[in-house]
Amino acid sequence: MPPFSQEVPKPARIQRGPEPGYELNDSNVATAKPFLLRDSGGRCAYSMIHEREIGKETIEVDHFDPRKVGGKKNHSYDNLLPAFGPCNRSKSDKWPSAAAEASGARFLNASVEQDYGVHLFEDPESHRIVAVTTAGKYHLRYLNLNTECLVLKRKNRSIARRLRENVALMQGLSSYDAGQLDDLLGNAESAIPEIDPPPVQSPYPS
């Protein structure tokens, strides 16, 4: 499903790299976290909050599809994603029913598709995430992406961006002063990325 502004779909936000060279199971699945953070650029697969913003220990290993296969969890690497603890607990073991799936309800997997800018957008005034597709609405309902913490992070990122743009002497700052400014405003590289505002009119059915 292509983004609104492009005819060619964007690549998936998370690019899978080499997986651990050993079989993952109940006892060692947590050891996949460094590999997953490598793939996601250190970000939660759902909220995009960076490990530097919240601490690596708050990132957990999520089983994207929580359903068991033969009575066991699916620990295959392509079923795992890095998730901020509150996102992981909010999603938990939820999965749409067959009837809901038939209507288009599903979770969005950022390792195989684009989520933000296609299904999910950011209201530029409230900085809340809004969904424009059936899949996006299901995903948003259970991922709790509009917690006070995440909304504030997105708001502060936008304020910091505007402040940086208004610092006319930015290019003349020493590396030390630029670092001090980043400490004050928050590191731009670790902030939640800019998210497109909702389209005026969605071409997709709700």
Beta strands in 49-95 (DSSP E): 59-63, 80-84
- Average of pLDDT values for 160-187? 66
Compute the chain's Rg from CA coordinates.
Answer: 18
Check whether 29 has a pLDDT greater than 90.
Answer: yes
Predicted pLDDT of residue 5: 43
**160: confidence class by pLDDT, cuts 50, 70, 90:** confident
Instruction: Please give the full DSSP string across 91-123, using - where no structure is assigned.
Output: HTT----HHHHHTT-----TTTS--BTTTEEE-
H or E element at residue 195: none
Assess if residue 135 is contained within a domain: yes
Check whether 172 has a pLDDT greater than 80.
Answer: no
Could you read off the pLDDT of 119-133 as tens digits, one per residue? 999 999 999 999 999
**171: confidence class by pLDDT, cuts 50, 70, 90:** low
Cα separation values, 127 from 16, 56, 62, 186, Å:
29, 24, 25, 17
Predicted pLDDT of residue 110: 98
Check whether 206 has a pLDDT greater than 50.
Answer: no
Residue 180, both tokens: 């001090």
H or E element at residue 184: helix 175-185
More confident position, 129 or 203: 129
Domain count, the chain: 1
Determine the residue type at 26: D
- Average of pLDDT values for 34-50? 98
Q: What is the mean pLDDT of the chain?
A: 88
**188: confidence class by pLDDT, cuts 50, 70, 90:** confident
Predicted pLDDT of residue 8: 58
More confident position, 180 or 46: 46
More confident position, 135 or 181: 135
**69: confidence class by pLDDT, cuts 50, 70, 90:** confident
Predicted pLDDT of residue 165: 73
Assess if residue 157 is contained within a domain: yes
- Average of pLDDT values for 191-200? 93
Range of the domain at 68: 29-185
Assess if residue 203 is contained within a domain: no
Residues in contact with 79: Cβ distance below 8 Å, sequence separation at least 6, in sequence order = 63, 64, 65
Assess if residue 75 is contained within a domain: yes
Could you read off the pLDDT of 79-95 as tens digits, one per residue? 999 999 999 999 999 99
